[in-house]
Chain A
Amino acid sequence: MTRGRFLFILAVIVVLIGAAMYLSPSTLENETVAASMLATTLGVATPLTLGMLAGLFCERSGVVNIAIEGMMLTAAFVGYTVGAYTQSLILGLLAAMASGGMMALLHAWLSVTFKVDQIISGTVINILAFGLTGYFNDLLLRRRDVDIQSAGLTPTIESLADRPVIGFFFKPIDALSDVSVIGPIFNQKPIAWMAIILVFVTHYVLFYTTWGLRTRAVGEHPHAADTVGINVFKMRYANVVIGGLIAGLGGAYFTLESTPQFEPLLTSGRGFIALAALIFGGWTPFGGWAAALLFGAASAFQSNAQQFGVPISAHIIGMIPYLLTIIVVAGVVGRAFPPAAIGQPYQKE
């Protein structure tokens, strides 16, 4: 992640928020607009950040992951279904993560063991996820008429602050969210906070632990890693599955935290945007997070512009993130270097 690209991302976010303040009617305080923009940005960026981190673990170990979309969609469905049937938020969350991990295991099995081209393997998983969630949604949810709204899922920070143990962590956040203007920014739900914490954790794991060093070694030069006794296959399997678990958390965000309902193709391409954020951010946790926030800000600007009747079509504004991604991967704003051995199946000699 070059400094130039980082500054570019920051500048675009500032411009988007500034434009939203400028375009909003004068009856609204600028601070209120900025705070609501930031809150929406964080919300939209949550699944993107988690998807980005999922791809990061996978790709840093040398396995291309275009299956983030499929993993998140599966997890969104499984999390919701298990949550609905058991009426338990925790079980739903765990099931979501497990299902993301299962899809990742399939990805690893195909691309590491069978050495199927990783892009094809990812495509297969996406198609499988579209099919399975569509079929079982009809079978388990639509026909049975179950829902989880009654279970009181989608907890707020407030309710968590009252719980034992975990309350300790959420109390300060809860306190911050009561501050008048910046309050809405901190008034995020648990998975949104987990996403932010995971960015820091991932940075630490990847760059300051033995595990991270091995992961990067396997992604950069598997032969050298193998020579010093690192099991390339095991490292790749493990990292792909870790990615799947995180993608599962991202999927759970959609149905257990954002809106408690499932519909086919619910993730609507956000797994692909997460992948774009990963590449945008040059395969680093903070770079990817910044890119996810940029996509979030663009989305927040879109809904803001729609709300205040800005005379530009929402469809046009909605195209900004995609256009930016193309500009960035075309190398206009700073180059990024992917893991050297990415995409190559490892063959022991």
Chain B
Amino acid sequence: MTKRREIADGMKTRIAPLLASVQARLGPLAGMLRPILVPFLAVVSALMIGAIVIAISGRNPLLAYAGLIDGSWGSGRAIAGTLVRMTPYVFGGLAVALAFRAGLFNIGGEGQLLLGTLAGAWVGYQLALPAVIHLPLALLAGVLAGFIWGGIPGFLKSRTGAHEVITTIMLNYLAIGLAGWLLNDNRLMKDPSPTNVIARTPLIAESAHLPALIPGQDAYPSASAAPEIVHWGVVLAVLATIAASFFLWRTVWGFEVRTVGANPSAGRYAGINVPRVITLIMGVSGALAGLGGAIQVTAVNYRAILGFNVGYGFDAIAIALLGKNNPFGVLLAALLFASLRSGSTRMQSLSGVNADIIAVIQALILIFVAADQLVRWLYRIRARGLEERTTLTRGWGR
């Protein structure tokens, strides 16, 4: 006990002045870096524990992390793969973050994205239109499907008080059931070609393809090729981030959303139509996830496939939490998660560490971010002022 105390005190006396001197030297920059200090330390701590787990499993953690970096940022192709993987994460993370700002926890990202892929793919293969109309229509279909699938729990929450965590989880399974039904039946949406045994739609028309960012790369090898071509969806993701940020802090709607999240009663007294805000923000949240799905269809897979996005909803939650529900934070967090994901294959081939370690590291990051007191206590950082805190458990089980 005393030994632990000694070590802790030692850390306190050594690290605290170090941080203070760094802060003094960096001056104004430190003020800018402060909001990302805790998430950054959370990532560092998680990577360190991850290294210990890897070492215990008898592998070389340094080699593993070298592979991780090489696989995600080591070459042009690697960077492209990372950016492409980042795109759906950004939309999912923004979806969770926006709902979170209104005090709502959207676990339904997986179902909303799935509906977005189904709608986008249907428009993509069913209709024959010029590209100028076809592509936007396919994306819009994804937005609309996501809006409906996210709006239902919002509507139920505002009218009957049904907690969105339960309803979004149930809607995930309903979406999976719906997709299973549609994609396994030749008369519905299943690819009817005689050789096909997979639950997937036919390929979408070329007029619904989201083009590559660099025109020369428009070769579109095959739909199953690794995602190594940066498409316009990446730009859309960045634009969505800017739009979400503008929406939250520069519009009346954003103000209403944040007020409802901070204190619904205060919002009601201020004349905000709380039920409408709740329904709409859940719809918008779902629409973002749905758009992410439609982009995945029109830019990467060129069809909807059952079961390619298992766990997407939880990844989206992790990204929103790591990004502190700030759109730009979400962008950074999505980039980090995409890097982990896209580097994991190279890591496995280089060091023999199973790619599932990524999920462990992600969970550890989350623990440190969620319990930020833990990070503050570990690194002796004092909290500055009161942070905006939202209670998600309000009205649980109603």
State the A residues within 8 Å of B (CB): 59, 64, 66, 110, 114, 116-121, 123-124, 126-128, 130-132, 134-135, 137-139, 264-265, 269, 272, 275-276, 279, 283, 313, 315-316, 318-319, 322-323, 325-326, 329-331, 336, 338, 342-344
Contacts and interface: CB of A to CB of B under 8 A. Distances in A.
B240 interface: no
Contacts of B22: none
B397 A318 contact: no
Interface stretch (B217-225, B230-238, B265-273, B357-365): B357-365
Contacts of B63: none
Given A114-B371, A116-B371, A276-B170, A338 B359 contact: no
B356 A272 contact: no
B397 to A, nearest CB: 4
Contacts of B370: 110, 116-117, 120-121, 124
Contacts of A276: 166, 169-170
A336 B397 contact: yes
A118 B371 CA distance: 11
A329 B178 contact: no
B86 interface: no
B396 interface: yes
B156 interface: yes
B323 to A, nearest CB: 14
Nearest to B373: A114
B356 A138 contact: yes
A203 to B, nearest CB: 19
Contact of B359 (A131, A318, A336, A342): A131
Which 6 A-B pairs have CB atoms at the shortest separation, nearest pair first? A343-B393, A131-B359, A128-B363, A134-B356, A315-B181, A338-B397
A135 B354 contact: yes
Given A124-B363, A127-B314, A343-B391, 20 more contacts: A110-B371, A114-B374, A118-B393, A127-B362, A128-B364, A131-B357, A135-B360, A269-B169, A269-B173, A283-B397, A318-B180, A319-B178, A325-B166, A329-B160, A329-B163, A330-B167, A331-B162, A343-B392, A343-B393, A343-B396
Contacts of B207: none
A336 B360 CA distance: 37
Contact of B393 (A119, A132, A134, A323): A119
B174 interface: yes
Interface residues of B, number: 53
SS class of chain B's interface: helix, strand, loop or mixed? helix
Given A128-B367, A135-B354, A315-B180, A322 B173 contact: yes
Interface in B102-132: 105, 107
Contacts of B398: 329, 331, 338
Contacts of B392: 117, 119-120, 343
B57 A330 contact: no
B68 interface: no
Contacts of B163: 329
Nearest to A69: B169
B185 A313 contact: yes
A139 B310 CA distance: 22
A331 B163 CA distance: 11
Contacts of B23: none
Contacts of A323: 170, 174
Nearest to A344: B393
B176 to A, nearest CB: 9
Given A331-B162, A338-B398, A342-B396, A135 B359 contact: yes
A315 B366 contact: no
